[in-house]
Amino acid sequence: MRYLGSKVKLLDFIQQTITKYGIVGDSFCDLFAGTASVSDFFKGQYDIIANDFMYYSYVLSKAKLQNNGEPKFERFTREYKADVFEWLNSQTYIPDEKYFIYENYSPIGNRLFFTEDNAIKIDGIRFAIEELYANNFLSESEYFYLKASLIDCVTRYSNTSGTYEAFFKFWESRALKEFTIEPIEVSNCQLLRHHTIFNKNSNELIREVRGDILYLDPPYTVTQYASAYNILETIARNDKPAIKGVGGKRDKGSCVSNYCYAKKAKDEFEDLFRQAQFKHILMSYSNQGVVPLDELIELARLFAKDGTVHIDNLEYQEYQNHRSSNKRNGERLKEVIIYFEKDLNVIKSPLNYAGSKDRMYYAIQKHFPKHIDTFVDVMGGAFNMGINVAATRQVVYNDINPYIYQIVNWLLSTDKEQITQNVENCIQHYGLGKALEAPYLALRNCYNTTERNPLNLFVLHMYSFQNYIRFNSKQGFNTPIGVAGYSEDLKNRISHFVPRTPNVILSNLDYREVDYLTYPQGTLFYFDPPYLITKAAYNDGKRGLDGWSKEHEKFLYEILSMLNSHNYHFIMSNVKEHKGRTNVQLIEWAHANNFRIVEMGLSGWRYAKNEIIVTNIE
């Protein structure tokens, strides 16, 4: 099949890359499937997830993944006593007003995409396939196989250079041959695995699927596939769209790819890399893509485990169209595969702090904007959100509580082995253990009287009742002994408490004091305030620290509305209802401003709450 960006000649290259880096897994996602040649090649090795937002591609994927070789067409053969392809080719087709290809893309419609006879046959076969399926002479897999065969064969008789944005003004030899539908080539695998096919926008679907290996083959050039293959889309859909222009193009609708625009493509890649829930990511691209290769590699490093990105390349034949330009200073075209392993583990803070969002991180991340220049964790707490965010410029941690701020600052700025050693020395010095009250009280007294440092407070919180960090009105730490303590899990969390974004700025401000408008466009502000209709030790206003009231809540809403008016993105975690109480103020404000309220599910294992986020991100 003549197709822009086809990977048929690169299948061995992709396989060699997988072998070279020891990539293993059970599932393989082909997110930009195109002709489904990659999915077809790997369908015997993996459970395939195939997707493309063009419907003709969906048809090709259905045909290749639902069939192992050519189907038997048993129902058709039983009824017609003939081979289905011979039967379709031998029928006499009489054109009428339904014959859209004939009326619009042959000389009858003043266009030379197909000869009149071939256009009639294409229309006629398409209607015959629909009729056979409607009369139950074809199974679903056979139906898509015949449609795919028709699409595949159409490309062999088209009077074009390969795409359908324009036709030749003369008849090329291939276009003058009599049209014949033949079986599309499909791999015959011994093992039939489970395959799933989608027809969605790739950046939307990536939020819904997960697996082991993600293969990306996005558009590299300015050519829109919805335009280049608009006639194939019409044949696949069997519709009669409004068309325009010399080429009779159908409207692209929602099938306009941002990957074809230099100003948008990089944000699309950032979003794709961030949202991908796959351990191994391979991407085909070229040194002449709309995003410079070095920029794409640097972007991938943000999301790669240990920042490691591998690049394998080979020289490849260049495609040119009427919008092609002499890019990359005449450098010879190279097809590359970018490979990196993505660390899917959520970094969990060693600080056990009420309301932490580590378990909800990925659910909230699904609603992030495509591009994050700066992420501001305004009410950062234990820093479970911001530490997991990969922003292109910086992440800002802020918290009003000076004690929490000091612990987070200490955890981030001190050598991890030194932290572990100091913690273990403190535990040994005081003889701390689970539910051992006397040693605990001795450390607590030391902290309150002489050695008021983040190390001692951190160790205290490990052994305190429900890990509370609670103070009396004189700022004395007063949480009683609990039943928890130091563990290997906590030790591991200390060693892995490293931000995904290298540049992190910390501040200790009241949320009302943050200078929001100094941040660049592309900043995402995240707020995780105390919940008005719940109570915790940090927001009851009785522990020597400011509490949280309706006035605080109202002021926060004003800040969020202000951010929205200045075109900043925000996400706020909260709850609508809890133990029979409803935050009416929150709901009315969100609805009045047309902000989205998204259900996040239950959080907290002690006192479960139905969490939501409120956001101005569409």
Spell out the domains of the chain, with CATH numbers in brackets.
1-68+191-222+261-344 (3.40.50.150), 70-185+227-254 (no CATH), 358-615 (3.40.50.150)
Q: How far apart are CA 572 and CA 373, in angstroms?
A: 18
Whether the Cβ atoms of residue 369 and residue 351 lie closer than 8 Å to each other? no
Backbone angles phi, psi at 275, to 5 degrees: -85, -15
Q: How much is the pLDDT for 604?
A: 59
Q: How far apart are CA 618 and CA 616, in angstroms?
A: 6
Question: What pTM was estimated for this model as a whole?
Answer: 0.93
Q: How far apart are CA 122 and CA 120, in angstroms?
A: 6
Distances (CA, A) of 117 to 2, 89, 94, 161, 434: 22, 12, 10, 20, 86
Q: How far apart are CA 458 and CA 24, in angstroms?
A: 40
Low-confidence ranges of the chain (pLDDT < 70): 190-191, 315-331, 535-545, 603-608
Q: How much is the pLDDT for 323?
A: 46
Q: Can you point out the beta strands (E) in 422-564?
A: 504-507, 523-527
Q: How far apart are CA 115 and CA 121, in angstroms?
A: 10
Let me know if 333 is exposed, middle or buried by CB neighbors in 10 A (0-12, 13-18, 19+).
middle
374-377, strands of its sheet edge to edge? 504-507, 394-398, 374-377, 523-527, 569-575, 609-615, 596-603
**Cβ neighbours of 493 (radius 10 Å):** 18
Backbone angles phi, psi at 505, to 5 degrees: -115, 135
Q: How far apart are CA 154 and CA 35, in angstroms?
A: 14
Let me know if 348 is exposed, middle or buried by CB neighbors in 10 A (0-12, 13-18, 19+).
buried
Do strands 249-250 and 243-244 pair parallel, antiparallel, or not at all (unpaired)? antiparallel
Q: How far apart are CA 69 and CA 186, in angstroms?
A: 5
Give me 338's structure tokens: 């970018």
Q: Which DSSP category does 390 fall into?
A: -
Give me 381's structure tokens: 């707490």
Q: How far apart are CA 338 and CA 292, in angstroms?
A: 13
Q: How much is the pLDDT for 541?
A: 52
Long-range own/partner contacts, residues 472-476 (CB < 8 A, 24 or more apart) = 472/543, 472/544, 473/542, 473/543, 473/544, 474/544, 475/544, 476/448
Element of type H or E holding 590: helix 584-592
Whether the Cβ atoms of residue 142 and residue 132 lie closer than 8 Å to each other? no
Distances (CA, A) of 574 to 117, 283, 354, 357, 364: 65, 38, 13, 11, 12
Q: How far apart are CA 556 and CA 562, in angstroms?
A: 10
Amino acid identity of residue 34, one-letter, is G
Which of 373, 377, 299 shows the shortest CA–CA distance to 522? Answer: 373
| 180-220: pLDDT as tens digits | 999 999 998 866 789 999 999 999 999 999 999 999 999 99
Element of type H or E holding 562: helix 550-565
**Cβ neighbours of 560 (radius 10 Å):** 24
Largest Cα separation within the chain, whole Å, is: 99
Amino acid identity of residue 515, one-letter, is D
Amino acid identity of residue 571, one-letter, is I
Q: How much is the pLDDT for 319?
A: 47
